[in-house]
């Protein structure tokens, strides 16, 4: 007898497209259609940005739900959950889960999950006590952490129950990022640079988290030693005008370009010497995975999950956050020794390709969905999931849905040889 697919609703209240949104697209593209029927609820802004890449069979609902005053958005999400018999509600990022999870519970959605993508370094005052997080967690059945560091953050800082948390690491679509002959230098010229300029790439939303200003503050020191270095920023965000003004005021217009969101970062990575990500906090940065998959080493800050992929001195270089001098020194080191950069890029590709592909992300997420769904019948064998009321579907796993990657990462670290200085 054929079993109907489980109805899954992804929810995001983001208004820009970044790594989290690419993560959502990876799941919507890859999840097994025989097992799951897929829906997406998101803001009109994000819907516009994702529309061209959204699979045709994913039903899209546009709504705004990011504040207590968004009553219309809350009502529409509840209607979607009820009318489309949503069986798994999967929110991405804390604010999305904060608003969607109670609505899902009141709408009698049997399984409610959230993926925690970052550490919320921005919290100050009472918000840093995580009281609200622990209250919202009572409406969730499971929380996915995208790195070991985020898992520790959820358990040690937020004090969420360890049995609710699984690590399913961020992945990259590695089929798009492969070693190949670099594209024509005409692409470099199209950005307003010379053919023999040396490019450095920062891919990320133009938001305070990503540390673009730190790179701009480091750039004059780099240019004194390497005048032909040029920086490309790929991404959009609220800081664009502020960063453009800084570039103009400090005489860096000749060396910096803002290219906005580009669907083909692999073409620019192929032209780059290396990538830079001076973030103040991260989960596990997809853009660094993409850089390493292209065989381009990365300089990044030693925050959260980043050291799980940028193995210092092996696949890239780590620097302290908010330290332009250290960042400049690391950039000059790689610019002065291109062979070292190439060796670490090759080691990075060898590390990333077998361990961070989309296939692993999708299969691990599917396994968690199915375990959560099957648990409903184990905990309430006399009822069907549609009969389960609010709160009755809370899951307590005796072990994570996927095994910890900490030991595997440690083993992989030992297998990668450190490039010779």
Question: Please, what's the b/e burial string for 181-212 (b: 16 or more CB within 10 A of its CB; e: otherwise)?
Answer: eeeeeebbeeeebeeebbbbbbbbbbbbbbbb
- pLDDT for 401 equals 38
- pLDDT for 265 equals 87
Which of 295, 278, 144, 271 is closest to 213 using CA atoms?
278
Judged against a pLDDT cut of 70, whether residue 421 lies above it is answered with no
- pLDDT for 413 equals 56
Q: What mean pLDDT comes out for the span 54-72?
A: 95
pLDDT digits (tens, 9 = 90+) for 382-395: 444 433 433 333 33
- pLDDT for 263 equals 80
Burial of 274: CB neighbours in 10 Å, binned 0-12, 13-18, 19+: buried
Burial of 273: CB neighbours in 10 Å, binned 0-12, 13-18, 19+: buried
Judged against a pLDDT cut of 50, whether residue 190 lies above it is answered with yes
Q: DSSP for 336-387, please give it.
A: H-HHHHHHHHHHHHHHHTTTSBHHHHHHHHHHHHHHHHHHHHHH-TTS-GGG
- pLDDT for 385 equals 40
Query: What's the CA gap between 26 and 24, in Å, rounded?
Result: 5
Judged against a pLDDT cut of 80, whether residue 370 lies above it is answered with yes
The CATH homologous superfamily of the domain defined by 6-171+357-410: Glycogen Phosphorylase B; (3.40.50.2000)
Residue 378 corresponds to which tokens in the numbers above? Answer: 């184990």
**Residues 87, 385 contacting (CB under 8 angstroms):** yes
Task: Say which CATH architecture domain 174-355 belongs to.
Answer: 3-Layer(aba) Sandwich (3.40)
In order of 209, 277, 398, the CA distances from 213 in angstroms are 10, 11, 44
Range of lowest pLDDT (98-102, 189-193, 229-233, 310-314): 189-193
Taking the alpha carbons of 169, 214, 49, 267 in that order, is the dihedral positive or negative?
negative
Judged against a pLDDT cut of 70, whether residue 416 lies above it is answered with no
Task: Provide the percentage of residues in the chain whose pLDDT is more than 90.
Answer: 73
Query: What's the CA gap between 333 and 328, in Å, rounded?
Result: 9
pLDDT digits (tens, 9 = 90+) for 331-354: 999 999 999 999 999 999 999 999
Which residues are bridge partners to 61 per DSSP?
41
Q: What mean pLDDT comes out for the span 48-75?
A: 95
Q: What mean pLDDT comes out for the span 205-217?
A: 95
Query: What's the CA gap between 14 and 48, in Å, rounded?
Result: 12
Query: What's the CA gap between 366 and 32, in Å, rounded?
Result: 8
Q: How confident is the model at residue 415 (pLDDT cuts 50, 70, 90)?
A: low
Judged against a pLDDT cut of 90, whether residue 92 lies above it is answered with yes
pLDDT digits (tens, 9 = 90+) for 224-269: 999 999 999 999 989 999 999 999 999 999 999 999 988 888 889 9
Which residues are bridge partners to 198 per DSSP?
229
**Residues 293, 269 contacting (CB under 8 angstroms):** no
Q: How confident is the model at residue 158 (pLDDT cuts 50, 70, 90)?
A: very high
Judged against a pLDDT cut of 90, whether residue 2 lies above it is answered with no
**Residues 279, 210 contacting (CB under 8 angstroms):** yes
Residue 276 corresponds to which tokens in the numbers above? Answer: 């830079």
Q: How confident is the model at residue 1 (pLDDT cuts 50, 70, 90)?
A: low
Task: Provide the percentage of residues in the chain whose pLDDT is more than 70.
Answer: 86
Angle (nearest 5°) at CA 45 between 43 and 46? 70
Q: What mean pLDDT comes out for the span 83-112?
A: 96
Query: What's the CA gap between 258 and 233, in Å, rounded?
Result: 5
For the chain, how many residues are written?
421
Query: What's the CA gap between 367 and 394, in Å, rounded?
Result: 17
**Residues 183, 214 contacting (CB under 8 angstroms):** no
Range of lowest pLDDT (70-74, 133-137, 167-171, 268-272): 133-137
- pLDDT for 393 equals 35
pLDDT digits (tens, 9 = 90+) for 13-56: 999 888 899 999 999 999 999 999 999 999 999 999 999 999 99
Cite the residue boundaries of each domain of the chain with CATH code 3.40.50.2000.
Answer: 6-171+357-410, 174-355
Judged against a pLDDT cut of 70, whether residue 66 lies above it is answered with yes
Range of lowest pLDDT (58-62, 245-249, 284-288, 330-334): 284-288
- State the average pLDDT for the chain: 88
- pLDDT for 419 equals 55
Query: What's the CA gap between 300 and 302, in Å, rounded?
Result: 7
Range of lowest pLDDT (179-188, 254-263, 268-277, 295-304): 179-188
């Amino acid at each position: 007898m054929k079993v109907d697919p489980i109805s899954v609703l992804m929810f995001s209240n983001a208004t820009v497209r970044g790594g989290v949104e690419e993560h959502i697209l990876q799941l919507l593209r890859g999840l097994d259609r025989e097992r799951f029927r897929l829906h997406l609820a998101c803001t009109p802004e994000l819907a516009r940005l994702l529309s061209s890449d959204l699979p045709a069979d994913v039903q899209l609902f546009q709504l705004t739900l990011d504040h207590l005053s968004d009553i219309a958005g809350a009502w529409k999400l509840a209607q979607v959950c009820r009318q489309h018999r949503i069986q798994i509600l999967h929110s991405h990022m804390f604010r999305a889960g904060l608003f969607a999870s109670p609505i899902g519970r009141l709408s009698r959605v049997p399984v409610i999950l959230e993926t925690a993508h970052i550490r919320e370094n921005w919290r100050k005052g009472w918000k840093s006590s995580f009281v609200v997080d622990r209250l919202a967690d009572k409406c969730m059945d499971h929380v996915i952490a995208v790195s070991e560091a985020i898992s520790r953050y959820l358990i040690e800082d937020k004090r969420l129950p360890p049995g609710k948390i699984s690590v399913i690491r961020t992945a990259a679509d590695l089929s798009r990022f492969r070693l190949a002959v670099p594209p024509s230098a005409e692409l470099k010229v199209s950005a307003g640079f010379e053919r023999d300029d040396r490019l450095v790439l920062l891919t990320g939303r133009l938001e305070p988290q990503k540390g673009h200003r730190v790179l701009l503050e480091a750039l004059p020191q780099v240019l004194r030693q390497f005048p032909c270095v040029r920086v490309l920023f790929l991404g959009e965000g609220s800081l664009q005008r502020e960063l453009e003004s800084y570039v103009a005021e400090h005489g860096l217009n000749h060396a910096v370009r803002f290219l906005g969101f580009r669907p083909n970062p692999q073409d620019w990575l192929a032209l780059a010497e290396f990538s830079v990500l001076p973030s103040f906090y991260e989960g596990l940065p997809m853009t660094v995975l993409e850089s390493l998959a292209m065989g381009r080493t990365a300089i990044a800050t030693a925050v959260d999950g980043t050291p799980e992929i940028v193995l210092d001195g092996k696949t890239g270089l780590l620097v302290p956050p908010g330290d332009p001098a250290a960042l400049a020194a690391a950039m000059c080191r790689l610019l002065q020794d291109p062979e070292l950069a190439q060796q670490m890029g090759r080691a990075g590709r060898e590390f990333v390709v077998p361990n961070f592909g989309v296939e692993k992300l999708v299969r691990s997420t599917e396994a968690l969905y199915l375990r959560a769904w099957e648990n409903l019948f184990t905990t309430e064998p006399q009822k069907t999931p549609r009969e389960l009321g609010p709160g009755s579907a809370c899951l307590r796993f005796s072990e994570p849905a996927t095994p910890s990657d900490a030991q595997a990462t440690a083993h992989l670290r030992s297998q990668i040889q450190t490039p010779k200085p």
